[in-house]
Structure 1
Amino acid sequence: MTPDQAAAFARIALGHVTREYPHKADHVMTGDADAYLPRRVHPIFFGSFDWHSCVHGYWLLTRIRRLFPDLAEAAAIDALFADAFTAEKVAAERAYLDQPMSRGFERPYGWAWLLMLHSELIVAGSPHAATLRPLADAFAERWRAHLPLMTYPVRVGIHANTGFAVVLADRYARVTGDTALRELMAERVRHWFDTDRAAQAWEPSGEDFLSPVLMEAMAMQRVLPADAFVAWFADFLPALGAGEPATLLTPARISDRSDGRIAHLDGLNLSRAWAMRALAPAIGGTAGGVLEAAADAHLSAALGEIAGDYMGEHWLATFALLALTGVD
């Protein structure tokens, strides 16, 4: 990733994390008193079209501020964070979780991104990490309580995907030293995925921004010893070295970027590139080379589509940053 790319991504995020409208709410009303105005209910994460995109917009800014401290945009990021991350605003975000119908609020995608944001603030040595901690603690506790209830994983290519949430939450657990959470996730991931073989990769679906197959593989990579993961992966995608399944290795085509759901497919190309780049070194050999080549093709298809229509612009730079820098 170059400084020019980082600066462009920062400018995109700075342009939308405080843009209140249009806004898509994850909100359940039980009466007139629950009427919803984004900035009133979510005084930090009210922008970027929806709550979770605003959270990972702040993650993007935190990571870029850490990796590229000399960018001209650093001053604007610092000013934004000083205004956003106050104890009062964090308390208001935290209080929303106590409402009767908020149990499923942003589960698990928004939970995982909030944990990622907190872990990035910690790694950056930011004083805002301590301010945000009550909210991160609340989501971590929700994740711990929810995992044992999940008899089955969610294997879709959109927000509910279980493997994606595990990968992000694992980074948080490692940064914070939460060994118990890592062990719980490892037990659940193996329960869900250990016996999976010969993945068919019937993807993409028309609204995917995640690969169910690759997210599962990344989750397993996080919890298995290296040798055990290589053995599992060889059974999971046994024909990968021969370029199969082709559907997994071929970039998605996007027919209408003004349609927010179809625009998800740009994100799929980016998240596949991220996953392939993470998996390839662990796999090695011919299969690893296939993943590397496919990652390059997916990046080439998507990097030029980060900005333009707001339906993609409010979130795609985050997935480009994942593809270019990884989780850690």
Structure 2
Amino acid sequence: MKNISLLLLLIIPSFLISQELTLQQANHLATLPIKCLQQEYPNKLGQMLIDSTEIQSPKQLHPAFYGCFDWHSSVHGHWSLVYLLKKFPALDKREEIIRKLQINLSKENIQKELAYLSKNHEKSFERTYGWNWVLKLQLELDTFNAPFAKEMAANLKPLSDLIVERYIEFLPKLLYPIRMGMHPNTGFGLTFAWDYAVHTNNEVFKKSIRENAIRLFQNDTGCPFNWEPSGTDFLSPCLEEMAIMQRVMPEKDFLAWLHKFAPQLFNKKFDWEPAKVSDRTDGHLVHLDGLNFSRAWNLYHLIRQYPKQFSHLKALADKHFQFSLPSVVDGNYEGEHWLATFALHAFEEKENGF
């Protein structure tokens, strides 16, 4: 325990000094998904059992995405490592990371994942949170110009294709949006999906996302920022809705909509307190660190496209980002198995715009 505490004292200040992602920070953040990528237990399965033949171990059920506690955390843990490999060619343990990714994302393993998701009684499996992360992983692999990444992209593509089909089938059936600040949130579930639709120039997919997002959200006004956060949020219902509408609406229409939906964001004195975590060993309460990161990445994304209107929000985004950054390295598996991804995506949005 003394050694762990000493390590944290050495690492945490480097995160507090700079919010730019350095190689040193990347090396440390990479250790978290490396550690859990092939760690089968503890594990939380989101499985529906039809009969006893479906009772199998996590690795048997999900040979690609069995680690990092649950399926979606495993998926975005893979994204984290691909992102870091692409951004930092000199990343420590590079060969080990590539080897683990190649094992998990083999053609055979992805075919087994595809077979699982193709079951009629698993149509809602990981809808839409896990689906969203699969498409972000696919986009990251598609845009990584390395032979091993191209091979993994080809392996993953059939699963991504199925998920695109599932989105197109499901969205018209969703009569009301899901606004909670956790996995089923509709706004978040469409964001990376939209980015992937744009990347692949899939007009049918883009049309489905755009039309359904506008149908579900265009009449919303006065989002209650003061109701946030709920006790176990890791997504902001207000900002996730804003994020998808920012993507699918023309700029003039979006700004007019946002004036009605979130007028406080235009106020140069707008402030919002970061969410506080009372117990980081509690797997639900620690969600609030993720909320701070997701608030930050959505604000960075907004500022990047509309600096004239929203540059005053950068300090607020930085405050949220800075508040939870030290908790990524606190040694608790409850947060470690997923928070690195949220921190990295906040870094990604921050660096894309500033």
Q: TM-score, normalised by structure 1?
A: 0.95
CA drift of 1:219 comes to 0.3
Give CA deviations for 1:183-237 in whole Å, capped at 9, x if unaligned: 1111111111112122112110000000000000000010011222122212211
Q: Tell me which residue corresponds to 1:288.
A: 310
Matched residues, number = 325
Alpha-carbon distance in structure 1 between the residues aligned to 2:200 and 2:35 = 30
1:325 aligns with 2:345: no
Q: Tell me which residue corresponds to 2:216.
A: 192
Alpha-carbon distance in structure 2 between the residues aligned to 1:106 and 1:241 = 35
Give CA deviations for 1:82-109 in whole Å, capped at 9, x if unaligned: 2122221111111111334211111100
Alpha-carbon distance in structure 1 between the residues aligned to 2:269 and 2:45 = 39
> Would the aligned equivalents of 2:268 and 2:313 in 1 still touch at CA under 8 Å?
no
CA drift of 1:62 comes to 0.7
> Would the aligned equivalents of 1:7 and 1:71 in 2 still touch at CA under 8 Å?
yes
Give CA deviations for 1:270-326 in whole Å, capped at 9, x if unaligned: 1101011111233445x6144211111101111100121000000000000110102
Which letter does structure 1 place at the counterpart of 2:217? F
1:128 aligns with 2:129: no
- Pairs within 5 Å for 1:233-272: 233-242=258-267, 246=271, 249-272=272-295
Deviates more, 1:172-181 or 1:312-321: 172-181
The 3-state SS of whatever aligns with 2:263 is coil
1:275 to 298, 301, 304: 298
Give CA deviations for 1:36-89 in whole Å, capped at 9, x if unaligned: 310011001000000000000000011111111121222112111221222211
- Pairs within 5 Å for 1:57-68: 57-68=77-88
Q: Tell me which residue corresponds to 1:300.
A: 322
CA drift of 1:151 comes to 1.2
The 3-state SS of whatever aligns with 1:314 is helix
Alpha-carbon distance in structure 1 between the residues aligned to 2:204 and 2:23 = 38
1:224 to 228, 241, 249: 249
CA drift of 1:244 comes to 7.7
Q: Tell me which residue corresponds to 2:66.
A: 46
Deviates more, 1:153-162 or 1:26-35: 26-35
1:138 aligns with 2:131: no
Q: Tell me which residue corresponds to 1:15.
A: 35
The 3-state SS of whatever aligns with 2:281 is coil
Q: Tell me which residue corresponds to 2:174.
A: 150
> Would the aligned equivalents of 1:200 and 1:245 in 2 still touch at CA under 8 Å?
no
- Pairs within 5 Å for 1:25-174: 25-125=45-145, 126=149, 127-174=151-198
Alpha-carbon distance in structure 1 between the residues aligned to 2:180 and 2:220 = 16
> Would the aligned equivalents of 1:209 and 1:267 in 2 still touch at CA under 8 Å?
yes
Which letter does structure 2 place at the counterpart of 1:321? L
Q: TM-score, normalised by structure 2?
A: 0.88
Give CA deviations for 1:151-191 in whole Å, capped at 9, x if unaligned: 11110100000111111101111222212111111111111
Which letter does structure 2 place at the counterpart of 1:79? R
Alpha-carbon distance in structure 2 between the residues aligned to 1:305 and 1:215 = 23
Q: Which runs of 5+ in 1 are unaligned?
A: none
1:206 aligns with 2:234: no
The 3-state SS of whatever aligns with 2:223 is coil
Instruction: Looking at secondary structure, tell me which structure has more helix per residue.
Output: 2
Q: Tell me which residue corresponds to 1:183.
A: 207
Deviates more, 1:156-165 or 1:220-229: 220-229
The 3-state SS of whatever aligns with 1:273 is helix
Q: Tell me which residue corresponds to 1:310.
A: 333
Q: CA RMSD in A?
A: 1.6
Q: Which runs of 5+ in 2 are unaligned?
A: 1-20
Alpha-carbon distance in structure 2 between the residues aligned to 1:167 and 1:149 = 18
> Would the aligned equivalents of 2:72 and 2:126 in 1 still touch at CA under 8 Å?
yes
What is the aligned-residue identity percentage?
Answer: 40
Moved over 4 A (4+): 243-246
The 3-state SS of whatever aligns with 1:315 is helix
Alpha-carbon distance in structure 2 between the residues aligned to 1:321 and 1:116 = 13
Which letter does structure 2 place at the counterpart of 1:207? T
> Would the aligned equivalents of 1:226 and 1:282 in 2 still touch at CA under 8 Å?
no
Cα pair distance change 1:241/1:100, threshold 3 Å: closer
